[in-house]
Amino acid sequence: MRENCTICHQMQSGMHGEKLDQSKEHVKIKDLRERGYMEHGCQHYRRRCRIRAPCCNEIFHCCHCHNEAKDDIRIVPKLRHDIPCHQIKQVICLLCGTEQEVICSLCGTEQEVQQNCINCGVCMGKYFCGICKLFDDDVSKKQYHCGGCGICRTGGSENYFHCDKCGCCHSTLLKNSHACVEKAMHHDCPVCFEYLFKSMHEIAVLPCGHTIHINCLNEMRQHLQYACPLCSKSVFDMSKVWEKFDLEIAATPMPELYQNKMVWILCNDCGRTSNVKYHLIAQKCLNCKSYNTRQT
């Protein structure tokens, strides 16, 4: 009986030793993968690799770095181009310098780009998307891949939904209230002209459904521009401003020659036409009481 206990004890000790060895190996692998975490990258991403662009065969930190260099207004138009991110097949590890194009040694089949370096084993990005070939160590952005958009977004999938008509992701706060505009983000920002669909800057959806960079919208506000640059509808609550217009117009009587002059106006906010008295300051829509109008 005691002999059996000794054997069992030895077996258990052996198993315990194996578990310790496995645990140490696991820690070792983890330490290898963590090397250089958040120490490398560019202004767009924290990552431990660079990419070789399949379009021009040049090396860049990321797709945005490529596009800033190759799609700039200073580049000869016929040479400008965007990188096809989904076609990236070669990445270079920043820690060991290995350029990996993963090809199976047995069958010769080209494999997908991997998250870990095939030479030193380092993790080249805590967040990795095999579709977009995106690496990023800064996971605080809450990156996620949207199948509808076909690209990676930030902000957490639980906070956004994809609208098929708009062709983009919107905040869940707008799910039942946003105005659908077909391909809303598939155009340039109407202020800075950066392509919005792949922009890294925060984007606002206006009440009319059009989209614009939040920074550009704030800049418009600073310059007292309160209408959508695309459709001219008011982008803020202007009721207090319209009240001030009422007071100013009441305090500014028109000369007798113009007191009975009538003009037709089109309201940019509600789209209705009205026949109203002319005033030098502004004309008020009879339907929605807006002063965002123009003569027709």
pLDDT digits (tens, 9 = 90+) for 132-152: 999 999 999 999 999 999 999
Q: With CA atoms as reference, report the closest residue to 125 among 54, 50, 67.
A: 50
Q: Are residues 48 and 119 in the same domain?
A: yes
Return the structure tokens found at 110. 């080209």
Angle CA(52)–CA(201)–CA(36) in degrees, nearest 5?
45
Q: Is residue 18 part of a domain?
A: no
Longest CA pairwise span in the chain (Å): 122
pLDDT at res. 96: 92
Domain annotation covers residue 15:
no
115 and 58 together in one domain: yes
130, 33: one domain: yes
**Mean pLDDT of all residues in 221-246:** 94
238 contacts 292 by C-beta, under 8 angstroms: yes
Counting the structural domains of the chain, the total is 3
- Residues 229 and 259 both lie in one domain: no
162: pLDDT strictly greater than 60: yes
Q: What is the CATH number of the domain that holds 290?
A: 2.20.28.10
- Indicate the residue type of 104: C
Q: Are residues 135 and 229 in the same domain?
A: no
Which of 108, 139, 170 lies at the terminal end of a domain, its last residue?
139
Domain assignment present for residue 7? The answer is no
Residue 156 has pLDDT above 60, yes or no: yes
Instruction: Output the average pLDDT for the chain.
Output: 88
User: At which of 121, 139, 157 does a domain end?
Assistant: 139
Residue 92 lies in a domain: yes
Q: Is residue 19 part of a domain?
A: no
For residues 216-223, give the mean pLDDT. Answer: 94
Q: Listing from the earlier edge strand, what are the strands of the sheet with 273-277?
A: 273-277, 262-267, 293-295
Bridge partner residues of 148 (DSSP): none
Give residue-wise pLDDT tens across range 105-129.
556 555 678 999 988 999 999 999 9
Residues 168 and 197 grouped into a single domain: yes
Question: What pTM was estimated for this model as a whole?
Answer: 0.72
pLDDT at 37 over 60: yes
Q: What is the pLDDT of residue 1?
A: 45
Is the domain of 48 the same as that of 126? yes
Task: Please name every residue paired with 59 in a beta bridge, in sequence order, or none if there are none.
Answer: 52
One domain for residues 172 and 89: no
The CATH number for 179's domain is 3.30.40.10
pLDDT of res. 139 = 95
Q: Are residues 181 and 118 in the same domain?
A: no
Torsion region of 159: left, alpha or beta (phi above 0 gives left; psi -120 to 50 gives alpha): alpha
Per-residue exposure over 219-258, b if at least 16 CB sit within 10 Å of its own CB, e if not: ebeeeeeebbbebbbbbeebeeebeebeeebeeeeeeeee
Domain that holds residue 232: 142-236
Residue 96 lies in a domain: yes
Model confidence band, residue 81 (pLDDT cutoffs 50, 70, 90): very high
pLDDT, tens digit (0-9, with 9 covering 90-100), for 179-214: 888 888 899 999 998 889 888 888 898 999 999 999
User: Is the same domain home to 147 and 47?
Assistant: no
Instruction: Tell which of 139, 172, 207 closes a domain.
Output: 139
Same domain, 266 and 225: no
- Same-domain status, 152 and 187: yes
In a domain, 22, yes or no: no
Q: Is pLDDT above 80 for 93? A: yes
Is residue 212, in this structure, part of any structural domain at all?
Answer: yes
